[in-house]
Amino acid sequence: MCGIVGYIGDKNCVPVVIDGLKRLEYRGYDSAGIGMFNNGGISVTKVIGKVENLQQEVKNQGLDSTTGIGHTRWATHGEPNVLNAHPHSNNDGTLIVVHNGIIENYPTLKAGLKKLGYTFKSATDTEVLAHLFDAYLKSGYPFFEAVRRGLKDVEGTYGIAVISTKEPDRIVVAKKGSPLLIGVGEGENFVASDAASIVQHTKKVVYLEDGEMAEVFKDHYHTKTTDDEEVNKEVHQIEMTLEEIDKGGYPTFMLKEIMEQPESLKNSIRGRLLQETGDVKLGGLENVLDHLLYVKRFLIIACGTSWHSALVAKSMFETYLRIPTEVEYASEFRYRNPIVGPGDAAFFISQSGETADTLAALKEAKRLGALCIGVCNVVGSSIARESHSGVYIHAGPEIGVASTKAFTAQLAVFALITILLARRKGMSVEEGQSLVSEFAKIPETVRGILSQNDLIEGIAEKLKNATNFLYLGRGYNFPVALEGALKLKEISYIHAEGYPAAEMKHGPIALVDENMPVVFIAPKDATYDKIISNIQEIKARKGKVIAIATSDDENIDQLADYSIKIPVTRSILMPILTVIPLQLLAYHIAMKKGLNVDQPRNLAKSVTVE
Ligand code: F6R
């Protein structure tokens, strides 16, 4: 949600910042802006829409500077227009700031600054920061100190980068609740909200923690806390490659990410499945394994697609471990005075590792004494760092706003955790071996399902004009129904709902007529017969049935209007397979409607505001 990139060095900052912003565009794309030193002052260029518009505008102006900061915005306060785009500047245009996050007490600060004579151009919360820092600068404080003092007045969250003509040899950055890192180069340095934006320039990064700030010069940087204490920061080496964050020949990131699931799943399970002993190894859980075996209750907390993974994980845990498991929306958990204590272990699932509500829920669960385990994709992300222990899902960078490969990798990791704990709770070696060997086949099985892309595209062509969809599943596949519906609605803007299949009779069936496609996730499992009855009920009302069925199902073709077959596997692994056709179906419907699947309207990749 919103992206920040800045550069200080000897090169022209424009291509560095613009290219970096393009890589962050998935975080927000309603407007973009760049500000840089120019002829003793600061030039600011802002546009509505995509970073490519900004690139063209900067090119037209022929701008060139060795220090600059840029921003791609996802609107929180104030509609997406040029005035509300970042950077925001003080009244005389000598200081600019780019900001991710929300300044909660901005009305109070704004009122106070207005009394001091400051005038405001935008409807944003961020503009108060520019004037606030300016007020401290004008009181005689050096630049860094002026920012530090300003931040002490602020309530809310921020990742910021600021430049001032008063001390043009530095960029000042700070973090609280929104990610910010320094990219360490040779004779040049970078600042960014996300390592993906600077990975082509340096692999060395310093992650700021909440309450930390830095002044970044071209050949060194200096870190402190907002309480004015010195901090020494570790330099991390990031492993991400440029290829991983490019489209790799696919028309969209989303299709690339769907298609690379055989590889991303291999990466998720690599070195973790122990075929001979029918066991699992997860280094990140070794130090908490005993604790996990004796907790009274598991909590799994997440948002969106990650919350759907949590629902699948609940079924895995309760089936195999018999440990009561509650799944919570992070946003609800944190505000309802939850009953949590040292007898609980709480898992926090987040692709980005930066979702504000999930991070806040983690801090709350930690405060209440629960053992907190992060299940994240982005290495070094805030949730990963804040957790007591954790497991990375290793799906690789996910750029498409709609989550696909992270979902299947999350499911894989929870299946791993389940087997790991189940083996210690009495699962036999034979059962472990059987599960592990089935698990090892999953990446190639997924490849087989992906090869039905053309068939699924054909079904999408037939259904693309529907205005409502129902997705129905049971047991392990009920969350998959929710996920299928979410994928469709977020990228195609078609209204879709997921339900437990039998719940359909308690309301949603009223919606069914000849125009209503109903997607059934109907593998041959314990509830298969019941699902078949549900399909018949839909057919009796002339609904169109799309069935995701297993290859051993010979009768489904007579019942369903369209069927997509997937190989048979163990129930615990089935959601990894059943979701693949649903991802492709949503993808093709949206593409056929001419929509931008990578950057659907109103959405942003990581929701770092509450
Ligand atoms: C949907 C989607 C979102 C995210 C949600 C949580 O396709 O991507 O629903 O799953 O915003 O994000 P993370 O997992 O980064 O915490």
561 neighbors 546 (Cβ within 8 angstroms)? yes
Residue 608 has pLDDT above 70, yes or no: no
Give 601's pLDDT tier (boundaries 50, 70, 90): confident
Whose tokens are 């500000």? That residue is 35
Q: Which residue from 497, 459, 421 is spatially nearest to 585, judged by alpha carbons?
A: 459
- How far the first Cα of the chain sits from its last, in Å, is 11
Ligand 1 atom showing the smallest separation from residue 378 Cα = 15
Residue 426 and residue 585: Cα distance in Å, rounded? Answer: 40
CB half-sphere exposure, 447, CA atoms < 13 A: 9
Instruction: Write out pLDDT tens, residues 522-536.
Output: 999 888 999 999 999
Kindly tell me the sign of the dihedral angle through the C-alpha atoms of 131, 137, 141, 145. Answer: positive
Is 605 known to be catalytic?
yes
Q: What is the pLDDT of residue 263?
A: 94
Mean pLDDT of 235-259: 86
Phi-psi region of 249 (alpha: psi -120 to 50; beta: other; left: phi over 0): left
Q: What's the chain's average pLDDT?
A: 94
Residue 602 has pLDDT above 80, yes or no: no
The residue whose C-alpha atom lies closest to atom 3 belonging to ligand 1 is 304
Name the H helices within 139-224. 143-152
| Peptide linkage before 338 cis (omega within 30 of 0) | no
Label each residue of 383-407 as H, E or C. Answer: HHHHCCEEEECCCCCCCCCCCCHHH
Ligand 1 atom showing the smallest separation from residue 406 Cα = 14
- What's the Cα-to-Cα distance from 163 to each of 68, 89, 134, rounded to whole Å? 8, 10, 11
The residue whose C-alpha atom lies closest to atom 11 belonging to ligand 1 is 304
Instruction: Write out pLDDT tens, residues 283-331.
Output: 999 999 999 999 999 999 999 999 999 999 999 999 999 999 999 999 9
Q: What is the pTM of this model?
A: 0.80
Is 303 known to be catalytic?
no
178 neighbors 159 (Cβ within 8 angstroms)? yes
Q: In this structure, are strands 495-500 and 468-473 parallel, antiparallel, or unpaired? A: parallel
Identified catalytic residue from 2, 13, 303, 372: 2
Residue 496 has pLDDT above 90, yes or no: yes
Ligand 1 atom showing the smallest separation from residue 402 Cα = 7
Domains of the chain with CATH codes: 3-238 (3.60.20.10), 247-440 (3.40.50.10490), 452-597 (3.40.50.10490)
Pocket of ligand 1 (CB under 6 A): 303-306, 350-352, 355, 358, 402-403, 486, 490, 606-607
Tell me how crowded residue 146 is: count the other CB atoms within 10 A of its CB.
25
Whose tokens are 């385990």? That residue is 373
The residue whose C-alpha atom lies closest to atom 4 belonging to ligand 1 is 304
The residue whose C-alpha atom lies closest to atom 9 belonging to ligand 1 is 304
